[in-house]
Amino acid sequence: MAQQRTYQDSMGRNVGRSVTDTRGNTTFYDPMGRNTGRSASDSRDNTTSYDAFGRNTGRSTTNGNTTTVYDSFGRRTGSMQGSK
């Protein structure tokens, strides 16, 4: 059974939520319900960023110890290696 968690700021406003499936993979959502990230139990993470107008401004993916960054058009803009 999936586990859901809601996050609130100090004023009690909804600032997002997460859903963790039975395999331990967690998906994160912003207050608008947009998928903002995914943390997988096998060390693969994905993060999506939005500006104040709700436009996709880019994303990053992590596979093991390599993080790759993409712009809003899906073009690779960088890569970083490091320990996770």
Count: domains in the chain: 1
Confidence label for 84 from pLDDT (cuts 50, 70 and 90): very low
Domain housing 50: 3-81
Query: What strands lie across the sheet with 56-63, from one edge to the other?
Result: 3-8, 14-20, 26-29, 35-39, 44-50, 56-63, 66-70, 76-81
CATH number for the domain spanning 53: value is 3.90.930.1
Express each pLDDT in 12-58 by its tens digit.
Answer: 999 999 999 998 888 899 888 888 888 877 777 888 888 777 777 87
